[in-house]
Structure 1
Amino acid sequence: MARVLLVADEKQSRYGDALRAVGHEVTAVASVQQALEALARQPYDTVVTDLLLPGGDGMDVLHHTQERYPGIEVVLLSGQDKPVAPEVLQHAVHRALATRELQRENAALRRHVSLLETGQRICTTLDREQLADTARTAFQGLGLAREVVLFERDVSGRARLLAQNPSGEKREDPRLAFLAPHLEGAREVRELECVPGPWPRALVVPALNGEELLGHAALLYPGAPPEGITEATDFLARCMALALRNLGRISEVEDLAYLDDLTHLFNTRYLHLVLDRELKEAQQTHGVFSLLFLDLDYFKTVNDTHGHLMGSQLLVEMGRLLKGCVRDHDVVVRYGGDEYVVLLRHTDPAGAHKVAERIRRTVEQHRFLACEGYSLALSTCIGVASFPEHALEKATLLDLADRAMYRGKRGSRNVVFMAEKDLEATPPARYSQRTGS
């Protein structure tokens, strides 16, 4: 039934027999000191102690047990000379054990409620940074970990850092390089040893949404992971996977909102978003960036001669051509009609002019719609404006790049112009109907 520590002197045999008669395993001691030593050696479900004892009294045993072993119930017997009846003692121990079990159930219920509430917060988080912080804190608290490193899978299936404990160090963390190779395709909970840093043991938990592996949680410990955390960590990992899946779907929808239907380049909505971010970063870091504003010369004749279907195909081809002329982290935007804007990150005016010339020459030498049997020769005018040399505001930068491009349209075309003060404004008709000319 239960493990009982009986602390009594003359009544030890009588009380021990009464408790053993109902199936309890009884360890009997006769003094306070012996009781403290017995409690330190092994766990008990309850303590039954007489009030009057050699070397102290039952209150000493009660206080010690409550302070050191709060999960153990104590039955304190009367200090009267008359022994307690066996059935009364049995009932008192039964009630103490029932109280202990109820407290355990309540504690378990509180843990489950806390786990469910935490999981709900993780599942319903639609902000990546907030998800990282919420999930990391939850794994660290409920998994009893010293530190937590969270990973998500990128589009290629590789592990990518999602969150780790805050650190003032800016050097590369060797733990990430150690952990990442062990996560490739790992779908089972596993323990790792020899992790670099102060916590050499790791418990790696996969974040699965059904059969889809979306990430991992690496819980770091000084030794073997504690027992009894499997249920909590597995549940939290599944909640993290669901949140990552939701974020992925939102990202897919956002991507559609920021893509041009025809060319699948970014659209003007995304241009304004990324320009706001680039301006903020450049202002904080004293950085530079440049804008190229360009359109195709005499594009209208393509539509008039070969039809709008071929014209649309040419615009798609032009988009591919532009992306081949810039770096992966630069941003190519279809602005409207046959007009494009290119954001060149960390690029000063001289660098931007070189890129613009490369684009101009590439367009000039390219033969459009060759696969369709037309092999058309076209050219482009490009205007260049840079932050902070030409302007400090988004609208002014775009306007100056547009004006520089329009200056080329009024001249020889097939040319690159740098932004200057007092350039002629782009005619209003080009704002209302940007279809090329």
Structure 2
Amino acid sequence: MNLWPAPFAAQPLNATVTIPGSKSLSNRYLILAALGSMPVRLIGLLRSRDTDLMMKALESLGVRCEVDTDVETTVTVIPPSHGRFHGNVDLFCGLAGTVMRFVPGLALFADGPVHFDGDEQAYARPMKPVLDGLEQLGATVEYHGEIGKLPFTITPPATLPRNPAQVSIDSSGSSQFISGLLLIGSRLPGGLILRHTGEKTPSLPHIRMTVADVVAAGGTIDANEAARTWTVESRSLQLPDTVTVEPDLSNAAPFLGAALIAGGVVRVPHWPETTTQPGGLLPGYLEQMGATVSFPVIDGIRYCEVASDGTVHGLGTFDLTAAGEIAPSLAAILVFADAPTDMVGIGHLRGHETNRLEALVNEISRVGGEAEELPDGLRIEPVPVGALHGAVMETYADHRMATFAAMLGLRIPDVQIIDVATTRKTLPDFVGMWSGMLA
């Protein structure tokens, strides 16, 4: 068993942590660059398992992804000639939701069938809504296991709809189903009218991010969020010749949240003034928990700075619909809170890399904390810090469960983490960054 002893914070923190590029933006830019006709140079691209899987998938489809020999986070994406993707190929998605849910749309424009597979754990992740959408666009989907799950083969239609294509799906399980179709809607000869039939839209900020990125590439999307309908005009897409990727603000959550758990100050540079990332909501959430948040500009660089004396306030009923991906980091902080918190609006986390709600309850209980699942979220009850104890923490092949466990280890001695390397999904050097923060 591969165990990593999580560092204990023996004194308040005083650290500056540089966060790699956003995974969500990196993989959206890679898709949009592939859909263009001219090369695009991406600067600050996240280099992690998820983005490497995306680049390998695109390369299988005939896209060239040329990594700068001096700066590996600079990648030039060269679309295939004539805009036609290669068919009769096998694509491996690993456990990356953005790969398994964004790349299938590209198969509509391939010259033959495209086979998709992934990690064994990926077979449990829901896929059916985006595949139903592709079938409504004329594709044929052949499942090689459970219906609606990996592995499967997509055969593109002989012709694509000439009139505005009407697609209706229930995307309640993940905003990625909507995003995956919005990314390719402009390429359809008649455009796309996409309707979400579910009552709630999970992670609406991620959908807004996709809309903004498509618009940045020259697309036009009319978003009627109240009616849960998106109308995409048929347009040629082309990102600017150079695009810089923002830091991943959700990946900043464990580090900035560490200031509340251990006390002290943690700063993250290059924090954007405006952003489409859900992680942009993080500073406000941390303030509600009792932190002092500021945005100093030093030598022309804007920082997010979080300071705390280690006191954490519970949040009562807290709607996290807009930023569910940072729920594990917030849960780690709230284990040390002075009052209960019901995090709601995050029932869809049951369909992420693992069932995150169940996993969080298991691991909070493992160290002596109190938590329970709610129909649409998670309740965390405070216990005295002295009642918490070290344990061997499971990660469930989920990068956010690994960072969650490391956060607990800041204030609970003798926490050991199984397979901390799963953090490579989005943070290639998490162990070095975490240890450096405490140094």
TM-score (norm 1): 0.20
The structure number with the bigger radius of gyration is 1
Return the TM-score normalized by structure 2. 0.20
Structure 1 or 2: more helix by fraction: 1
Q: Tell me: higher relative CO, structure 1 or 2? Use CA pairs within 8 A at least 6 residues apart.
A: 2
